[in-house]
Amino acid sequence: MHDFQYKQGTFHCGEVPLEEIAKEVGTPFYCYSLPTLERHIRAFEDPLQDVDHQTCFAMKANSCLAILNTMARQGLGADVVSGGELYRALHAGIPAHKIVYSGVGKTTDEIDRAIRAGIMMFNIESEQELEVINARAGQLGKKAPISIRVNPDVDPHTHPYISTGMRDNKFGIDIEGSMAQYVKAREMENIEIVGIDCHIGSQLTDVTPFIDAVERLKVLIANLGKLGIEFRYLDLGGGLGITYSNEEPPNPKDYCTAILEAVGPLGLKLIFEPGRVIVGNAGILVTRVLYRKETKTKTFIIVDAGMNDLIRPALYGAYHEITPVEEHNGGTEKADVVGPICESSDFLAKERDLPRFVRGDLIAVMSAGAYGHTMASNYNSRPKPPEVLVDRTRFYVVSKRQSYEDLMSGEIVPDTIR
């Protein structure tokens, strides 16, 4: 199915053996497949081809410039959540009018930059944010386009850390409160109401919560209509899940079909903000075994990638499939795959049945294209790993491994220090 396959017993991305990339860039490294990425984009876009819509890739999932540029070339926009992401998106060639800006903590500087750039809309997450955006737009002599992010209070049945549309989450404004905020926004001089928005969580494996959210939004849209409040965009957020191990999420076609049916003939342009479903299975992390360590009770496979490179297992207990780069035909053993970081949460896999790995083996950590490199940090003063993009027979190092100098850039020791 995907572009990561064994050929003559060695794991490849497209036509390129991962071993060859490891020789060139060292380990660990992220590896993305361009054909897979393009296929995922088409899988999402094809069912929507006759629908007035704009897909805005949620770039917190993967903000590599080469990936963003691919999105731009395929006509996608971006969902940004910071000034840094806005800067990157524009730099990668995504036009401002295809950018939506979400997030509960937009600063004045970030708001000003987005207004000046001329983005499609701000997704408003609180009453105060609405007031600040109105004031800043006034200062800049512009009208700020907004939608209100509605928290529809539906349970997405996902990990609590990535569920965002329940009453107790910090995101959005509840349905009743949203009515009041729209009425308020209508009176504001420098605000233009252009849409309504919701995003209920990530890694959803069932369409029902999406449909429940749409139903609740439709009631709200009808009630707003009675007050004469109308708009152009219905933003349905992202959140469609992928298969990490044995999850069976709806495919993009079934998701889109179900959503379109639930939305019905509203006459609004639909905005989608998928992240994980586009990039998650288009990327892997490749790491090398440093040591085997056998204790009385356990076997540890110690690798050169840590939680600073891929934090999802430590953060969410997330599962990533572990695949040997050279096909093993020996037996298996139960082992933990752990990194070099000084934390017990620094693991990539726990209690897995794995081939008997030895020092020097290469391992592919699957499904690492989303929330992988973007969540990488310099913890333990470890340089962030490089990102490699493979296009069939060729590979490109699209972001370099950080150097030790990079780690200290911008730091000074005051010379009057004592």
Ligand X SMILES: *Cc1c(COP(=O)(O)O)cnc(C)c1O
Q: Indicate which residues carry an active-site annotation.
A: 342
Residues 218-257 that bind ligand X (CB under 6 A): 237-240
182: three-class secondary structure by DSSP: helix
Interface characters, 335-374, with ligand X (x: CB under 6 A) = -----------------------------------x----
> Which amino acid is residue 100, in one-letter code?
V
Query: Which single residue is written with the structure tokens 């910071």?
Result: 82
Interface characters, 71-90, with ligand X (x: CB under 6 A) = --------x-----------
Nearer Cβ to ligand X, position 237 or 324? 237
Q: Chain-centre distance of CA 47, in angstroms?
A: 21
Nearer Cβ to ligand X, position 99 or 289? 99
Name the one range near ligand X by CB under 6 A: 2-10, 275-283, 296-304, 314-322: 275-283
**Using rule CB under 6 A, residue 199 touches ligand X:** yes
C-beta neighbour count of 141 within 10 angstroms = 8
Nearer Cβ to ligand X, position 277 or 335? 277
**Using rule CB under 6 A, residue 110 touches ligand X:** no
**What are the start-end ranges of the E strands in 4-60?**
4-7, 10-13, 16-17, 29-33, 53-58
Nearer Cβ to ligand X, position 182 or 371? 371
Per the CB < 8 A criterion, the answer to whether 189 and 136 are in contact is: no
Q: How far is the CB of 149 from ligand X (least distance, A)?
A: 7
* Both structure tokens of 138: 């006034």
* Both structure tokens of 295: 């204790």
Q: How far is the CB of 272 from ligand X (least distance, A)?
A: 9
**Using rule CB under 6 A, residue 102 touches ligand X:** yes
275: three-class secondary structure by DSSP: coil
**Using rule CB under 6 A, residue 94 touches ligand X:** no
Distance CA 88, CA 30 (A): 19
**Using rule CB under 6 A, residue 275 touches ligand X:** yes
- CA distances (Å), origin 124, targets 20, 138, 190, 273, 368: 47, 17, 14, 15, 30
Nearer Cβ to ligand X, position 240 or 341? 240
Nearer Cβ to ligand X, position 155 or 343? 155
Identify the DSSP state of 207: S
Distance CA 376, CA 364 (A): 17
36: three-class secondary structure by DSSP: helix
Beta bridge partners of 365: 285, 322
Name the one range near ligand X by CB under 6 A: 269-277, 321-329, 342-350, 391-399: 269-277
Name the one range near ligand X by CB under 6 A: 57-65, 136-144, 251-259, 321-329: 57-65
Name the one range near ligand X by CB under 6 A: 262-270, 274-282, 324-332, 361-369: 274-282
Distance CA 59, CA 392 (A): 24
**Using rule CB under 6 A, residue 63 touches ligand X:** no
Identify the DSSP state of 326: B
Query: Which single residue is written with the structure tokens 């897909």?
Result: 55
Q: Please name which of 299, 321, 304, 303 lies closest in space to residue 312, comparing C-alpha atoms.
A: 321
**Using rule CB under 6 A, residue 312 touches ligand X:** no
Per the CB < 8 A criterion, the answer to whether 347 and 337 are in contact is: yes
Q: Which of 33, 202, 281, 399 binds ligand X (CB under 6 A)?
A: 202
Nearer Cβ to ligand X, position 216 or 276? 276
Distance CA 275, CA 324 (A): 27
Q: How far is the CB of 130 from ligand X (least distance, A)?
A: 17
Q: How far is the CB of 165 from ligand X (least distance, A)?
A: 10
Per the CB < 8 A criterion, the answer to whether 356 and 42 are in contact is: no
Q: Which of 34, 37, 61, 71 binds ligand X (CB under 6 A)?
A: 61
**Using rule CB under 6 A, residue 318 touches ligand X:** no
Q: Which residues make up the interface to ligand X (CB under 6 A)?
A: 58, 60-61, 79, 102, 199, 202, 237-240, 273-277, 370
